[in-house]
Chains A and B, each alone.
Chain A
Amino acid sequence: MTSSGSLPAKILIVDDEPPIRRFLRTSLAAQGYDIVEAASAQDALGQLGRNRVDVLVLDLGLPDMDGLEVLKHIRESGSNVPVIVLTSRTNEPEKVKALDLGADDYVTKPFGIDELLARLRAALRHRLQQQGERPIFKSGDLAVDLVRRTVTVRGEDVKLTPREYDLLRLLVAHAGKVLTHKFILREVWGAETDVQYLRIYIRTLRQKIEPTPEAPQYILTEQGVGYRLKSVD
Chain B
Amino acid sequence: MTEERQDRESRPSPEALLKQASQEAQGRGRLKIFLGAAPGVGKTYEMLSQARQRRLDGVDAVIGVVETHGRIETDLLTKGFETVPKKRILYKGQVLAEMDLDAILQRRPRVVLVDELAHTNAPGSRHPKRYMDVEELLAAGLDVYSTLNVQHIESLNDVVAKITHVHVRETVPDSILDRADEVELVDLTPEDLIKRLMEGKVYMPAQAEQAIRNYFVPGNLTALRELALRQTAQRVDEQMVDFMRAHAIAGPWEASERVLVCVNEHPCSTSLIRYARRLADRLHASWGAIHIETTRSHRLSERERNRIAEALRLAQQLGAQAVTIPAADAADGIVEYAQTNNYTHIVIARSDRSRWSELVRGSVTHRLIRRAGGISVHVIAPEQVSQTGETAAPVAARARLTAAPQARDYVESLIVVLIALVVGVLLQQILGIGSIALVFLTAVLVIAIAHGLRPALMASVASALAYNFFFLPPLYTFTIADPENVVTLFFFTLTAVVTSNLTARVRAQALVARGRAKMTEDLYQFSRKLAGVVTLDDLLWATVYQIAAMLKVRVVLLLPEGETIAVRAGYPPEDSLDDADLAAAKWVWQTGREAGRASDTLPGVKRLFLPMRTARGSVGVVGLDSDRSGPLLNPDQRRLYDALADQAALAIERIDLAQDVDRARIAAETEKLRSAMLTSVSHDLRTPLASILGSATSLKTYRSTLDEAEQTQLIDTIQEEAERLNRFISSLLDMTRLEAGAIQPKSELIDLGDVVGSALRRAGTLLAGHKVKIELQPELPMVALDPVLFEQVLFNLLDNAAKYAPLGTTISLTAEQTNQSIAIRVMDEGDGIPEADLERIFDKFYRARAGDRQRAGTGLGLAICRGFVEAMGGTISAANRQDRKGAVFTIRLPMPAHSQTVREQAA
Give me the interface of A with B, judged by CB distance under 8 Å: 16-17, 19-20, 22-24, 26-27, 29-31, 60-63, 66, 86, 88-90, 109-114, 116
Contact = CB atoms under 8 A, between A and B. Distances in A.
Interface string B636-669: 0000000000000000000000000000000000
B706 A26 contact: yes
Contact of A109 (B679, B689, B710, B713): B689
B166 interface: no
A70 to B, nearest CB: 12
Interface stretch (B40-48, B182-190, B339-347, B690-698): B690-698
Given A63-B853, A89-B852, A23 B682 contact: no
Contacts of A30: 698, 702, 705-707, 710
A31 B695 CA distance: 13
A110 B702 contact: no
A62 B852 CA distance: 8
Given A63-B855, A109-B687, A113-B701, A27 B679 contact: no
Contacts of A31: 702, 705
A96 B838 CA distance: 39
B750 interface: no
Contacts of A88: 682-683, 686-687, 690, 852
Given A26-B706, A31-B705, A112 B691 contact: no
Contact of B689 (A22, A26, A63, A110): A110
21 contacts: A17-B687, A17-B691, A17-B856, A19-B688, A20-B694, A22-B691, A23-B695, A23-B698, A23-B713, A23-B717, A26-B714, A27-B694, A27-B702, A30-B705, A30-B707, A61-B852, A66-B853, A89-B682, A109-B687, A109-B689, A116-B694
Contacts of A114: 697, 701
A23 B695 CA distance: 6
A22 B713 contact: yes
Interface string B844-884: 00000001111110000000000000000000000000000
A19 B688 CA distance: 8
B116 to A, nearest CB: 68
Nearest to B853: A61
Nearest to B718: A23
Contacts of B705: 30-31
Contacts of A61: 683, 851-854
B855 A16 contact: yes
B710 A110 contact: no
A112 B706 contact: no
B694 A111 contact: yes
Nearest to B692: A110
A160 to B, nearest CB: 37
B304 interface: no
A91 to B, nearest CB: 9
B748 interface: no
Most buried by B among A66, A89, A90, A116: A89
A27 B686 CA distance: 19
A109 B690 contact: yes
B683 A110 contact: no
A109 B852 CA distance: 13
B874 to A, nearest CB: 33
Given A30-B698, A112-B694, 14 more contacts: A17-B856, A19-B721, A22-B713, A23-B694, A23-B714, A26-B714, A31-B702, A31-B705, A62-B853, A63-B854, A88-B690, A111-B690, A111-B694, A113-B698
A20 B710 contact: no
B691 to A, nearest CB: 4
B720 interface: yes
B698 A111 contact: no
Contacts of A90: 682
Most buried by B among A30, A112, A114: A30
B713 A26 contact: yes
B660 to A, nearest CB: 31
Top 6 closest A-B pairs, CB basis? A61-B852, A27-B698, A109-B690, A112-B697, A110-B690, A110-B689
Given A17-B687, A90-B682, A26 B698 contact: yes
A61 B855 CA distance: 9
Nearest to A64: B853
Contacts of B855: 16-17, 63
Contacts of B692: 110
A27 B714 contact: yes
B729 to A, nearest CB: 15
Given A22-B713, A30-B702, A31-B702, A113 B697 contact: yes
A13 B697 CA distance: 18
Nearest to B685: A88
A16 to B, nearest CB: 6
Contacts of B697: 112-114
Interface string B715-745: 0010011001000000000000000000000
B690 A89 contact: no
Contacts of B854: 61, 63
Contacts of A66: 853
Contacts of A23: 691, 694-695, 698, 713-714, 717
A110 to B, nearest CB: 4
Nearest to B689: A110
Most buried by B among A16, A23, A62, A88: A23
A207 B165 CA distance: 98
A111 B692 CA distance: 9
B357 to A, nearest CB: 90
A24 B691 CA distance: 8
Given A19-B688, A31-B705, A63-B854, A110 B693 contact: yes
B423 to A, nearest CB: 100
B694 A24 contact: yes
Contacts of A110: 686, 689-690, 692-694
A22 B690 CA distance: 12
Contact of A22 (B702, B717, B852): B717
Contacts of B853: 61-63, 66
A88 to B, nearest CB: 4
Contacts of A22: 691, 713, 717
Most buried by B among A27, A29, A62, A66: A27
A111 B720 contact: no
Nearest to B716: A22
A111 B698 CA distance: 11
Contacts of B851: 61
A26 B698 CA distance: 9
A128 B760 CA distance: 54
Nearest to B712: A26
A63 B690 CA distance: 18
A19 to B, nearest CB: 4
A109 B686 contact: yes
Given A30-B706, A114-B701, A116-B694, A19 B720 contact: yes
Contacts of A20: 687, 690-691, 694
Nearest to B704: A30
A50 B697 CA distance: 32
Contacts of A16: 855
A97 B202 CA distance: 89
B478 to A, nearest CB: 112
Contact of B693 (A17, A24, A89, A112): A112
Nearest to A17: B687
Contacts of B710: 26, 29-30
Contacts of B687: 17, 19-20, 88, 109
Contacts of A109: 686-687, 689-690
B308 to A, nearest CB: 71
A21 to B, nearest CB: 9
A200 B145 CA distance: 63
Contact of A27 (B695, B721, B724, B856): B695
A65 to B, nearest CB: 8
Most buried by B among A16, A20, A116: A20
Nearest to B706: A30
B714 A19 contact: no
